[in-house]
Amino acid sequence: MSLAHQPQPLKSSVSLGALTISPPVVLAPMAGITSPPFRQLCRRQGCGLAVTELTSAEGLARGQAKTLHFLETWPAERPLAAHIYGRDPDIMARAAAVAESLGRFDSIDINAGCPVPKIMRRGEGAGLLRDPNHLKRVVQAVCAAVKLPVTVKTRVGLAANRINISEVAQALEEGGAAAIFLHGRVAAKRHAGPPDWSLIARIKQERSIPIFGNGGITSADEALRLWRENGVDGIMIGRAAIGNPWLFAEIACRLENRPWTPPTPAERVEALLEMLDGLIKLAELEQRHRRRLRYSAEESACMQFRTHASLLLRGRPHQRVLMQRLMSFHSVADVRATLHEIFC
| 3-state SS assignment for residue 20 | strand
CA angle in degrees (0–180, nearest 5) for 194-221-275:
90
Active-site choice (42, 47, 114, 302): 114
Handedness of CA 298, 304, 307, 308 (dihedral sign): negative
- Distance from C-alpha of 305 to C-alpha of 38, rounded to nearest angstrom: 10
Residue 114 known to be catalytic: yes
CA dihedral 139, 32, 16, 183 (to 10 degrees): -70
- For the packed helices 332-343 and 319-326, what is the interaxial angle rounded to 10 degrees? 170
Phi/psi at 77 (nearest 5 deg)? Answer: -80, -25
- Distance from C-alpha of 71 to C-alpha of 35, rounded to nearest angstrom: 9
Max intra-chain CA distance, the chain: 61
Q: Which amino acid is at 11?
A: K
- Distance from C-alpha of 26 to C-alpha of 48, rounded to nearest angstrom: 6
Compute and round to an integer the Cα radius of gyration of the chain. 20
- Distance from C-alpha of 151 to C-alpha of 83, rounded to nearest angstrom: 9
CB atoms within 10 A of CB 35: 24
- Distance from C-alpha of 41 to C-alpha of 273, rounded to nearest angstrom: 11
- Strand pairing category for 25-27 and 14-16: unpaired
Residues marked as catalytic: 114
